[in-house]
Structure 1
Amino acid sequence: MKIAGVQMDVALGQPAANLAKIISKLTETAAAGATLTVFPECVLTGYCFDSREEALEHAETIPGPSTQRLAEACAATNSFAVVGMLEAAGDSLYNAAVLVGPAGVLGSYRKVHLPFLGIDRFTSYGDRPFAVHAADGLNVGMNICYDASFPEAARCLALQGADLIALPTNWPPGSECAAASAINTRAMENGVYYIAVNRVGEENGFPFIGHSRIADPTGATLATLPHDNEAILYAEIDLSRVRNKHYVRVPGKHEIDRFADRRPHLYGPVIEPHGLMPPGRTDSDSELAN
């Protein structure tokens, strides 16, 4: 199975133009044989809004008008897409990613870990458990950007059977180490394919670094875009390889199974409340920390 990542520029507050570009790129990647194409974080709307009210003008429900257009494009190309967007849900605003296929929305994700940056200063914390969704036999888990800095997020998806973790992201300067190291580490420690797709260009004074990449279950880099230009990266993935978590290097002498070798009864401190206040957040925003 071939997958693709579209590293592209985004127009802030212009979802119609961004959607047209997304569909054009999806048509291109599907023609090149990609079954699944991943796009950046907030690719539909842009990221660097200066207020919640400004961002809400461009947020949509899931499903909604844009996901319907995406489903039509997936049906026309017989492919699937992971797309970053802003989700309006009642009175809440979420930084979200959606998995869409020919039949419509297959799953969505709300960003759990929020940095004090861009639209994440004004969105609500993701409020749903990590989940895995099937796309043409491929089990897909979704995280978004800053989530990759928290190994628990990827581990939850891997334990639920994810073959691939898709990370739409908006890495600004300062994220070079995450781009170069965290993606391969998350792939290796969970034995999964991991695709991180960043945007390029600039919004409200914030540039974005590109550096999208795909890593295999051993942590090796399959494809990378080591620059901040628009481009597409591709990789072939092997489901039989990712579903074997027991690595036999020397039979009876050197065998590795990172799931069987876990010792969860010693991991209690990982899930204990910390009571700390995230920068720029209020008490009501921080309930999940307590």
Structure 2
Amino acid sequence: MSRILKVAAAQLGPITLKEPRSSAVKRMIVLMQNAKAQGAELVIFPELALTTFFPRWYTEDQSEIDKYFETEMPNKDTEPLFAEARKLKIGFNFGFAELVVEKRVTRHFNTAIIVDQQGRIAAKYRKIHLPGHTENEPWRAFQHLEKRYFEKGNLGFQVHQVFGGKIGMCICNDRRWPETFRVMGLQGVELVALGYNTPAHYPLAPEHDHLQDFHNHLVLQAAAYQNGTWIVGVAKAGREEDCDLIGGTCIIAPTGEIVAECKTLADEVIIAECDLDRCKEIQENIFNFDLHRQPEDYALITAPKKESASNG
């Protein structure tokens, strides 16, 4: 018996500083329509899908940064996307910058949501592994100020019963940490949606630039196999405000095999039939956690960080 979920990965090309949200949403709607025409039930978009990747610029004016954040979802700019999804009866996932007041405190998160086929928000995730730095580093061609403009997510790595399966989310740098996927794996996750904006150039170790695409697929394929789950990794790609972003949008089976991959650095849709029952091949055999895990020997993984730990 099979549980088939037909999933689309909707890669976006670059979004300029001056491009309004309404333009990005129109592009997303075209991709959504394309996905639906190919029979997709769920379409996955990138991290920060509504704007350019603003953490690459430094400012001390918080009001300037707050212009990139959404204070409600849906809102006037994104409602057409939700309306089209309801019309097409297709679910979707995408990332955005979220500004919210919780317990009278203003919070800033790098957020992703899952929206069901009725246009209702079914699940939310806030990015936990924030990369980069907090202060201006003028020697860089571009900054990477996620630690300045966002705070660590506070929702954990939850798994949600939606679209007939167990689906989780993570964002960009989260994928480089095996704990991200293992926490979801321990909840029986069957598909992980992941959006990213990843520079092709790594200023701290430029000799690694040629490995950026390789490392992107390496961690996703390993995580899929080691946790017996489908993973859909979706890029914002191409040359965005003179900063090159990798592509490599792909859909990966629980065996670690790439079953679909984008070929361009522009707006593009790929589709795969994800049989969620295939997760059992791995979860009940090779990586049977109940049978083979030895958590008593893993204490160091959850030990508190040293106070002197780097902020980078």
Shorter-chain TM range is: 0.7 to 0.9
Q: Which residue of 2 aligns with 1:142?
A: 169
**C-alpha distance in 2 between matches for 1:160 and 1:70:** 31
> Is it true that 1:181 corresponds to 2:218 in the alignment?
yes
- Give the drift of 1:242: 1.6
Q: Structure 2 vs 1, CA of residues 224 and 29 (structure 1 numbering), >3 Å: closer, same or farther?
A: same
> Is it true that 1:29 corresponds to 2:11 in the alignment?
no
Preserved contact between residue 31 and residue 267 of structure 2 (Cα < 8 Å): no
**C-alpha distance in 1 between matches for 2:172 and 2:37:** 28
Preserved contact between residue 95 and residue 113 of structure 2 (Cα < 8 Å): yes
Q: Which residue of 2 aligns with 1:54?
A: 64
User: Secondary structure in 2 aligned to 1:83?
Assistant: strand
- Give the drift of 1:261: 1.1
Higher relative contact order (CA 8 A, sep 6+): 2
Amino acid in structure 2 at the alignment position of 1:2: K
Q: Structure 2 vs 1, CA of residues 67 and 227 (structure 1 numbering), >3 Å: closer, same or farther?
A: closer
2:296 maps to which of 253, 265, 268: 265
Instruction: Note the aligned Cα RMSD (angstroms).
Output: 2.0
Q: Structure 2 vs 1, CA of residues 94 and 191 (structure 1 numbering), >3 Å: closer, same or farther?
A: same
Q: Which residue of 2 aligns with 1:283?
A: none
**C-alpha distance in 2 between matches for 1:85 and 1:171:** 15
Runs of 4+ residues over 6 Å off in structure 1: none
> Is it true that 1:7 corresponds to 2:23 in the alignment?
no
Q: Which residue of 1 aligns with 2:158?
A: 131
Preserved contact between residue 227 and residue 287 of structure 2 (Cα < 8 Å): no
TM-score, scaled to structure 2: 0.81
Q: Structure 2 vs 1, CA of residues 212 and 221 (structure 1 numbering), >3 Å: closer, same or farther?
A: same
**C-alpha distance in 1 between matches for 2:280 and 2:257:** 17
Preserved contact between residue 80 and residue 100 of structure 1 (Cα < 8 Å): yes
> Is it true that 1:44 corresponds to 2:54 in the alignment?
no
Q: Structure 2 vs 1, CA of residues 24 and 256 (structure 1 numbering), >3 Å: closer, same or farther?
A: closer
**How many residues matched?**
272
Amino acid in structure 2 at the alignment position of 1:20: K
Q: Which residue of 1 aligns with 2:146?
A: 120
Q: Which stretches in structure 1 are left out of the alignment for 5+ residues?
A: 248-254, 280-290
- Give the drift of 1:15: 1.4
TM-score, scaled to structure 1: 0.87
User: Secondary structure in 2 aligned to 1:9?
Assistant: coil
Q: Which residue of 1 aligns with 2:114?
A: 99
**C-alpha distance in 2 between matches for 1:193 and 1:46:** 28
Aligned-residue sequence identity (percent) comes to: 26
- Give the drift of 1:256: 5.3
